[in-house]
Amino acid sequence: MSEALYRKYRPRNFDEIVGQEQVKQVLKSAITNNDIAHAYIFYGPRGTGKTTTARILAKAVNCSAEKFSERPCGICDSCKAIDNSSHMDVIEIDAASYRGIDEVRKIRDAASYRPSMGRYKVYIIDEFHMLTREAFNALLKTLEEPPEHILFILATTNIEKVPETVLSRCQIFTFKPFNTEQIVEYLKRILISENKKFDEEGLRLIAFAAHGGMRDAVNLLQRVLVFSGKINESDVRNILGILPSDVVEEYLSALLSSNYDQLMDISKEMSILGYSHEALLDQAIERVKEKISSGDMGIKTAALLVKLLWEISRELRFSDDKRRAFETLNIIQADKLGGLHEITLSEKENRLPAQKVAMAESTKKTTATIGKEHSITEKKEDELSRFLEELYAKNHVLSWTLLKLSNMSLQEASKGKKLKISYSPDYCLAEAILKERFEAVSDLVKNEMGVELELSAHEIKASKKSSDALSKLPPEQQAYMKRIMSLFDSVEVELEEEENGQEN
């Protein structure tokens, strides 16, 4: 069996460690000055070099080189034994498997014996935050006053779970995630040593997929090499399931424009080609962040879009049927966007300077407020705005959303005021949901505002031409959407009951 690349090319001294400059500098200085602490905590995400650095430190304190600055030398018997995992005085423990008080008592009892091969007996405890509370308490005294020949190196990815009493007895070093350039350079070194062909874009895709973890990046690299023997963009995309950038752009455009048919087509195509819906959402979020940096998208548009994408991604994790959940959630979130279109650079260049825009808006408002007719209209708009704010404050989520997406007009009628609403073709889904819940929404408007609700007949005809939005979904997804609508209603009812209970 061939050796894994991440083990084959694991750094063997401080100079070979990629990044983590602050950690290397302090530890090398401690070795040179023979000023070793009795306990260290290495904290950081997975694959950032915690265990590797712990082994290098164990080699350095047990190295037989005469000059402290040359340790670890890598050629003495002690260094070779640690590299081969055969050193009797360097004990590695997985706290996720051995987390009880009995295991810690064994460590405490064995600590009293002097090392047999080197100067220090080194305990490397990985994921030590998994220890039980009793185990932590049993370790405290040994950590505070260990024998002079004992060195503890504790590695963890979750330092928040470690008691303060343990943290105060150790020197803490934080390991940072690697950036794209550091990962690419390290992968290049491996590929040159292995005499493999590669291109820059393929390596960057691997670095992106690794999310800052070097071990993950090397494992992904080896997976692609097993498939094709070389690294190029097309092979990396196929093996790692990274979608082409034009598919991501198409998805964002469909979401922003509330194009439900296109969203369904993209989901269907992904299922046929075997791409992950989670991968599409991750890449879409990264693409929006890139657009913010380059100025191709407005901040408000990007913030709302990232929020909705993140909500879809979060909900998708708990769904067994990824495709159905993806399609349903996208329909709901696309309606929230309300056909919002991104602001491109070309559009921003054509806009008036900010001062001229402000002056134009000010002049428009001043001119518009002259006259009695506009004053009445403005009063009605204020009344509608207050009504919507009250709905939102009382947690009538579904009703507020449906009315917010409509074109509302407060008109005088023979029997009092009437609230007329209509929908553009872009909001056919919202119109379909309102039809399903028209009686409930109408009663809510009557009770809260004292007016009758009317859905414009003209818009109903227009929406029929564009077809009912719910009918575009398969039967099981229609049922799924109706269940979501009923959940919104149940939330509103529960909140109303709670408020009434508090008043009583």
Residue range 397-437, pLDDT digits in tens: 677 777 877 888 877 766 667 888 887 776 777 777 878 77
Residue 365 covered by a domain: no
Instruction: Say how far apart CA 332 and CA 320 lie, in whole Å.
Output: 19
> 153-157, 330-334, 488-492: which has the highest mean pLDDT?
153-157
Same domain flag for 310 and 264: yes
What percentage of residues in the chain have a pLDDT greater than 90? 20
Burial class (CB in 10 A: 0-12, 13-18, 19+), 29: exposed
pLDDT tens-digit map of 16-72: 999 889 899 999 999 998 889 999 999 999 989 999 999 999 999 999 888 888 889
Task: List the one residue out of 427, 411, 414, 408 whose CA is nearest residue 466.
Answer: 427
Backbone angles phi and psi of 95, in degrees to 5 = -70, -15
Same domain flag for 96 and 191: no
Strand ordering across the sheet containing 452-455? 407-413, 416-422, 452-455
Number of domains in the chain: 4
Name, in order, each residue with C-beta under 8 angstroms of 132's C-beta and a sequence gap of 6 or more: 99, 100, 101
Q: How far is C-alpha 335 from the geometric centre of its chain's CA atoms? A: 23
Boundaries of domain holding 48: 5-174
Name, in order, each residue with C-beta under 8 angstroms of 369's C-beta and a sequence gap of 6 or more: 375, 378
Same domain flag for 38 and 132: yes
Same domain flag for 13 and 142: yes
Contact between 431 and 459 (Cβ < 8 Å) = yes
pLDDT above 70 for 353: no
Same domain flag for 308 and 428: no
Same domain flag for 151 and 213: no
Instruction: Say how far apart CA 48 and CA 458 lie, in whole Å.
Output: 62
Residue 450 covered by a domain: yes
Domain's final residue, options 240, 259, 279: 240
pLDDT above 60 for 499: no
| pLDDT given at position 366 | 44
Same domain flag for 378 and 233: no
Same domain flag for 60 and 198: no
Which residue is listed with tokens 């009695």?
372
Is the C-alpha dihedral spanning 172, 176, 177, 181 positive or negative? negative
Residue 354 covered by a domain: no
Domain's final residue, options 174, 195, 227: 174
Residue 355 covered by a domain: no
Same domain flag for 322 and 378: no
Same domain flag for 13 and 82: yes
Residue 300 covered by a domain: yes
Residue 3 pLDDT grade (very low, low, confident, very high; cuts 50, 70, 90): confident
| pLDDT given at position 460 | 40
Q: What is the CATH number of the domain that holds 193?
A: 1.10.8.60
| pLDDT given at position 240 | 84
pLDDT tens-digit map of 73-130: 889 989 999 988 889 999 999 988 888 888 888 888 888 888 888 889 999 999 999 9
Same domain flag for 317 and 230: no
| pLDDT given at position 374 | 45
Residue 363 covered by a domain: no
Domain's final residue, options 174, 200, 217: 174
| pLDDT given at position 402 | 78
Antiparallel, parallel or unpaired: β 452-455 and 150-156: unpaired
Same domain flag for 385 and 460: yes
pLDDT above 50 for 310: yes
Task: List the one residue out of 416, 381, 385, 420 whose CA is nearest residue 400.
Answer: 385
Residue 359 covered by a domain: no
Residue 361 covered by a domain: no
Q: What is the CATH number of the domain that holds 27?
A: 3.40.50.300
